[in-house]
Structure 1
Amino acid sequence: MEIVYETERLYLCVFEDAHLESSKQFWGDEEVMTLCAGPASHEVLHKVIEGYRKCHNVHGLSVYAVKEKETNEIIGAAGFNTSGSLIEVELIYHFSKNSWGKGYATEAANACLEVAKNHGDVQLVTASASPENEGSLKILEKVGFRFKEMRYFDDTEQEEPYFEYVI
């Protein structure tokens, strides 16, 4: 298991095939993904994991498995969607329901920002969340993102608060 970053309670790790079952607890869960364009089918999750692993191998930056140190379990995913240039990347995070309310998303988001700062190419990190996802919006502000505008997103088919974090 390749560890990309370590915090007090978490590891950010490059996704492996062994994380498939755990990923169903967040990406495949209806309630977790209801405000994020819905859950991914279990059949495509292995392609998602493979894609994020390849992204890390090519760019040195990706979405990572979040492993809780105490239980040694994968409890979520956090990191960056990239598209072409690494100058601007999008922060995302999703966590299993049983890990909600414990500060893991904030801890992982801060870790991801450190990864971006250490990468060297990243200059701007963007993020958005459903207006109904108050917890996620609070996390973005808590870790230093600045609200810029309401913006329409095709994947969720709605206007969402759009945030930026300048590296």
Structure 2
Amino acid sequence: MKKVCETERLLLRILESGDTEQLKRIWGDEEVMGLCAGATPHDMLPRVVEYYAKCQEEKGLSVYAVVEKVSGNVIGTAGFNVKDSLEKVELIYHFAKSYWGSGYASEAAAACVDVAKSNNSACCLFASADPTNKSSLKILENIGFEFKGLKWFDDTNQEEPYYEMMIKDKNSHLINEN
């Protein structure tokens, strides 16, 4: 197990091939992913896990398994979709339905911001959410993201509230938010 960070109730670690079964309740669940681009077919999950593990190895940031410490279960995923560079990366988080409303998404998202700040390459984080997903929009605002306006997303085929958080300035100095 490769731990990335830890909070009071959660452990974030690199996704592993053995996580596929538990990910069916998250990425493979149509209701959980209904406000995103839709559920991932179960047979695709091993490739998704492999992709994110490789992303971590090559870029130092990725999407992570969120493990509830008390149970040891993977209850969600949180982290970063990294495209070509780390200059601007997308924060995402998804949780099994049975864990909604417990504050785990807020806790994991804030931990991910700390992970990005400790990465020497990431400069700007961005995130969006379905306009009807008020809980997710509130999480982004509570952890310090700034609303930038509405933006069209091809993967969800809609306009969504778009947020950013600068973590480094133009000269690659960390922005102190205290």
Q: Calculate the TM-score normalised by the size of structure 1.
A: 0.99
Tell me whether 1:75 sits opposite 2:106 in the alignment. Answer: no
Q: How does 1:17-32 map to 2 (within 5 A)?
A: 17-32=17-32
SS at structure 2 position matched to 1:72 = coil
Q: How many Å apart are 1:77 and its aligned residue?
A: 0.3
The letter of the residue matching 2:52 is: Y
The letter of the residue matching 1:84 is: D
Residue matched to 1:48: 48
Residue matched to 2:146: 146
- Determine which structure has more spread, i.e. the larger CA radius of gyration: 2
Residue matched to 1:163: 163
Q: Which runs of 5+ in 1 are unaligned?
A: none
Q: Distance in 2 between matches of 1:54 and 1:155?
A: 23
Flag as ranges the 4+ runs of structure 1 deviating above 3 A: none
Q: How many Å apart are 1:87 and its aligned residue?
A: 1.2
State the identity as a percent: 56
SS at structure 2 position matched to 1:85 = coil
The letter of the residue matching 2:150 is: M
Q: Distance in 1 between matches of 2:60 and 2:53?
A: 10
What are the superposed Cα offsets for residues 132-159 of structure 1, whole Å, 9 maximum, x if unpaired? 1111001000101000010000000000
The letter of the residue matching 1:146 is: E
What are the superposed Cα offsets for residues 74-132 of structure 1, whole Å, 9 maximum, x if unpaired? 00000000011101100000000111111000000000000000001111000000001
Residue matched to 2:115: 115
Report how many aligned residue pairs link the two structures: 167
Q: Distance in 2 between matches of 1:129 and 1:118?
A: 25
The letter of the residue matching 1:45 is: L
Between structures 1 and 2, the one with greater strand share? 1
Q: How many Å apart are 1:37 and its aligned residue?
A: 1.4
Q: CA RMSD in A?
A: 0.5
Q: How many Å apart are 1:59 and its aligned residue?
A: 0.8
What are the superposed Cα offsets for residues 46-68 of structure 1, whole Å, 9 maximum, x if unpaired? 11000000000111110000000
Residue matched to 1:37: 37
Q: Distance in 1 between matches of 2:85 and 2:94?
A: 24
Q: Which runs of 5+ in 2 are unaligned?
A: 168-178
Q: How many Å apart are 1:164 and its aligned residue?
A: 0.2
The letter of the residue matching 1:121 is: S
The letter of the residue matching 1:83 is: K
Q: Calculate the TM-score normalised by the size of structure 2.
A: 0.93
